[in-house]
Structure 1
Amino acid sequence: MTEFKTLDDVDLSGKRVLVRVDLNVPMKDGQVTDGTRIERILPTIREIADKGGRVILLAHFGRPKGKPDPAQSLEPLAGVLSKALGKPVGFSADCAGPVAAGIVSALKDGDVVLLENTRFHAGEEKNDDAFAAELASLGDLYVNDAFSAAHRAHASTEGLARHLPSYAGRTMQAELEALEKGLGRPQKPVLAIVGGAKVSTKIDLLQNLVSRVDGLVIGGGMANTFLAAQGVDVGKSLCEHDLADTARAILAAAKTAGCEIVLPVDAVVAREFKAGAANETVDVGAVPADAMILDVGPKSVEAVAAWIDRAKTLVWNGPMGAFEIEPFDRATVAAARHAAERTRSGTLVSVAGGGDTVAALNHAGAADGFTYVSTAGGAFLEWMEGKALPGVEVLKA
């Protein structure tokens, strides 16, 4: 995929490089509780610094609504980054204006500085051109390494690329190349596994996928809505009965497109939603009226595994059951491990993403076995829905 330029296409030496990164990491008492996103951006920062570029990091944190909020400052992350990089990372108390300009002008080749939260300025989320120009005045080049923020047209994710020569960082590049293998130009047959609680949040996704994949496994609470739409009594299970027509329309669209929908044939049911709750496995047509479906059963897992064996490409979003509580994590764990095994053997390209998905694959110990696991939530979902992402589109221009 050569629609956009990468770090291979530019001489970085002596250049001031504005690098948009994703530092929206979970924190508790000033400590980062999950550093995955920090790990992902290190290669780009190191490469630019090692090639003599002056690295100026731009990022947002939280939702400060366009004005400074000390509780959402990026300052604590300068130390975290410094430790991760093994070299000093400076900090500027503003991302624009004289403070930032003064700090940037003092940089030497190979230096790294983190600018304050871009969302402390109202112009960021409004994608205000004057604010984008002010940011652009600090650099010679723009590198976007924040795919997870690419679905938003903000000044630091989209506007900047209209003012400076623009390139994809290594994380952005890896993400786009993986997505291209997943749905852009995949090897067929393509299987999608979509789980999660609600159909309502994934209507666009399902409608896009049925015309693009050969098999679609529907799991999680979503599956109950599809089963109920076909007249199955799902007892007290989580179910959006008001979306029965939508579910039937998606099933009809899949039939027309020649996409095989795989719904559970058996289920693990319980009377209460808690770890270790007394449970039993029943066929989906025999769910007790006072019970709820909390996971798909072993026969359904076998059907999913058989599909994974047939597929050349797998795209995964969402868990198949209530994986947060045992023993209702079994189906997700079994399917994830099977997909990882097939990927390791070289017979499957597997791409996964979305918030709960990453947690579920980590829980299964399978994430490392996948071809690519995206840490982007909303951006990954919008890409799977077939929507253009502003932060990616502008890199192609």
Structure 2
Amino acid sequence: MSRHHTQEVPRLSDCTVARGDRWIYVAGCNVAPRSTDVGRIDCEVDDLRRLLDRGARVAILTHQGSAADGSAVPVPHVAARLSDRLGRTVAYHPTSTGPAARARAAALHPGDAVVLGNVRLDPREQQGSGELADEYAQLGDAVAVGAFSRAHRRDASNHALLTRLPSHAATALLAEVEALAPWAAGDPGSVAILGGVKREKTTIALAGFVETHALVLPGGAVLHALLEAAGNDIGDSSLGEDPSSARAVARDVLARRADRILLPRRVVTRELAGAGVQERRVVDGVPAGWAIVDHVVPDEALTRLRELGRGGGRALLAGTPGLVTAGHVTATRAYAAALEWFGDRAMLLGGDTVQDVPFAGRRSTGGGSALRFLVDGELPVLQVLALRQQRAVAS
């Protein structure tokens, strides 16, 4: 599935929806209960409204958090937000599998919807369980998939399920892909600001973007790995979700593309066992018991950003450059201000990034999925939909 061929997938907008049809809608409402950014819920509204206005009975599957680290929680707040945005009651049921969930979906009246329990409460979901996908398939007769925020995952509900029933790409999914297309096309004046701790940033994005972007500005675990690879002591700074891979990629890109990476000379460090915060020179190293939590953006980085922005280049920011949740916002604020030089040629990627970076411009609801798409040009969810389309045409 090429990044340039979304027309190869079956679309919800092309479907005839009849009154009483039973649909499963796979949403990407990965929003914590008290989150102030609800873009991942709101982007699914138009597709849901289209189904409900035509009298479909819709069982909504969505996710939040992960069973692996215990962050998955019930999602009644998603039903409440959808009710508000749709102007009609969207019910909530606490489970997504089993007799009670099947009965709840079957009891829907034409034009009604129910948000079923968080699929991530079942550890089999992120394992891509075929058995679990079979259970989901009993909730309806056709599938519409939005959920761009996890289109890069091979989860049971948004990948394996699509092989069980007639499945269609929702407008919410395709709109995100098409919005990213200009950033995927390649631009000699492009810049990528990478932060956070997720593997997609420390490995996939870093390795990919040094090949396609004129400038890569690291923050977060991406920065820590690069500083260590350059021979600096980083104390107990985080290397993200996959430290060994982060180290390997950092060494590789510095060996091949160091000219495209600009490292800061000063970092902000925090004492792990106390309340101390200290700015340090990178060359002086970070002692054990201290961790890098932010950095001072060098003047030459701001100069390059200004030149690229005013020269018509593109910019993306994925992952916060510093530990924003603990109040360390020096680099984040500097980069947010610099993005203004790019206007609508700047984009934020990902839910946490959008919530934590003070920039009101373009945004994508997907962090990992957007990065996967920009680097590889492919997403597993689009691939499985395209395969279904090819088989339908061949038959």
TM-score (norm 1): 0.75
2:207–2:249 Cα contact (<8 Å) kept: no
Match of 1:104 in 2: 105
Deviation at 1:194, TM superposition (A): 1.6
Question: What amino acid is the match of 2:295?
Answer: D
For residue 107 of structure 1, give the secondary structure of its aligned residue in structure 2.
coil
Match of 1:329 in 2: 329
Query: For residues 237 and 85 of structure 1, what CA distance do their matches in structure 2 show?
Result: 47
1:295–1:322 Cα contact (<8 Å) kept: no
2:200–2:371 Cα contact (<8 Å) kept: no
2:297–2:334 Cα contact (<8 Å) kept: no
- Deviations 1:250-280 (Å, cap 9, x if unpaired)? 123226xxxx413135436578699996758
Aligned positions of 1:1-397 closer than 5 A: 1-14=6-19, 15-27=21-33, 34-63=37-66, 72-75=73-76, 77-92=78-93, 94-119=95-120, 124-129=125-130, 131-183=132-184, 185-196=185-196, 202-220=202-220, 222-223=222-223, 225-227=225-227, 229-230=229-230, 238=237, 247-254=250-257, 260-264=259-263, 266-267=265-266, 287=284, 294-299=294-299, 300-310=301-311, 312-324=313-325, 329-344=329-344, 348=345, 350-354=346-350, 356-361=352-357, 364=358, 366=359, 368-370=360-362, 372-374=363-365, 376-383=366-373, 386=376, 388-397=378-387
Q: Aligned Cα RMSD in Å?
A: 4.0
Give the count of matched residue pairs. 370
- Deviations 1:103-159 (Å, cap 9, x if unpaired)? 434433322122233456676445444543443343232111112233332331112
2:54–2:111 Cα contact (<8 Å) kept: yes
Deviation at 1:197, TM superposition (A): 6.2
Query: For residues 110 and 222 of structure 2, what CA distance do their matches in structure 1 show?
Result: 52
User: Structure 2 vs 1, CA of residues 276 and 34 (structure 1 numbering), >3 Å: closer, same or farther?
Assistant: farther
Question: What amino acid is the match of 2:204?
Answer: D
2:169–2:385 Cα contact (<8 Å) kept: yes
- Deviations 1:291-346 (Å, cap 9, x if unpaired)? 987422451322333333345332322333454566x53432232233244224xx
1:51–1:110 Cα contact (<8 Å) kept: yes
For residue 49 of structure 1, give the secondary structure of its aligned residue in structure 2.
helix
1:251–1:261 Cα contact (<8 Å) kept: no
Match of 2:390 in 1: none
Deviation at 1:20, TM superposition (A): 0.6
Higher radius of gyration, 1 or 2: 1
User: Structure 2 vs 1, CA of residues 154 and 297 (structure 1 numbering), >3 Å: closer, same or farther?
Assistant: closer
1:180–1:186 Cα contact (<8 Å) kept: no
Question: Relative contact order, CA 8 A, sep 6+: which one is greater?
Answer: 2
| Residue range with higher mean Cα deviation, 203-212 or 238-247 | 238-247
Deviation at 1:225, TM superposition (A): 4.7
- Deviations 1:213-261 (Å, cap 9, x if unpaired)? 2332233464355355445x56869487998775342123226xxxx41
Question: What amino acid is the match of 2:349?
Answer: G
User: Structure 2 vs 1, CA of residues 5 and 214 (structure 1 numbering), >3 Å: closer, same or farther?
Assistant: farther
| Residue range with higher mean Cα deviation, 33-42 or 138-147 | 33-42
Query: For residues 289 and 63 of structure 1, what CA distance do their matches in structure 2 show?
Result: 32
User: Structure 2 vs 1, CA of residues 152 and 292 (structure 1 numbering), >3 Å: closer, same or farther?
Assistant: closer
Query: For residues 117 and 339 of structure 1, what CA distance do their matches in structure 2 show?
Result: 35
